Chains A and B, each alone.
Chain A
Amino acid sequence: AQKVTQAQTEISVVEKEDVTLDCVYETRDTTYYLFWYKQPPSGELVFLIRRNSFDEQNEISGRYSWNFQKSTSSFNFTITASQVVDSAVYFCALSEARRYGNKLVFGAGTILRVKS
């Protein structure tokens, strides 16, 4: 079965600190996609990244970076020099096409609080 674990329920940092949000997934499929979404207090989900199972290259986008390691089934997300506007709930999600028709399974989410 698909499963996504975000063990960190809540993280608090001070502005300008770096912070890493952990995501561990379980799947029996060889073809799958991993996602990160941000949910600010307004509630609307903001798409951050999609990564397919065949692309293990790390990605950097501005202050955001992602580390995908199939060997440990992890897809961790790092925010460098955090800002107050980064405060939100962050969800990691997994999608398997063949078994589950593109359904997204979300982790429990990590609340990130960035204090000024």
Chain B
Amino acid sequence: GAVVSQHPSWVICKSGTSVKIECRSLDFQATTMFWYRQFPKQSLMLMATSNEGSKATYEQGVEKDKFLINHASLTLSTLTVTSAHPEDSSFYICSAKLAGVIHEQYFGPGTRLTVT
């Protein structure tokens, strides 16, 4: 149980285009999902917290107009990287929190984005 999927697992896009990454909780409802970014050989950095039905909360330094997050249902959150640039190339990982259970996050397998 508690499986989180991400789609796509990897994507290559051209500079200036937008790309959408989906995060789904497959067998549970997630009121909260988190989006992390991991550059090569670095740690995971939280980008934003996404709550179902409300606006996402972005961490300091993360451009909310560039990284659009939508959490339209209890099982799906999407991250759209708009006008992508090579410096946005990274490994994006989402996690989902079980409703009513604190301190328990389930991580997706990650999406590797390469912007050329």
Contacts and interface: CB of A to CB of B under 8 A. Distances in A.
Interface residues of A, number: 21
Contacts of A37: 107
Nearest to B57: A101
B36 to A, nearest CB: 8
A43 B46 contact: no
| Chain B facing A: main interface SS | strand
A102 B102 contact: yes
Given A97-B102, A102-B97, A102-B102, A44 B107 contact: yes
A108 B44 CA distance: 8
Contact of A95 (B42, B43, B91, B103): B103
B111 to A, nearest CB: 9
A91 B34 contact: no
Contact of B32 (A45, A52, A102, A108): A102
Contacts of A105: 46
Contacts of A50: 103-104
Interface in B26-80: 32, 34, 42-46, 49
Given A101-B49, A103-B34, A108 B43 contact: yes
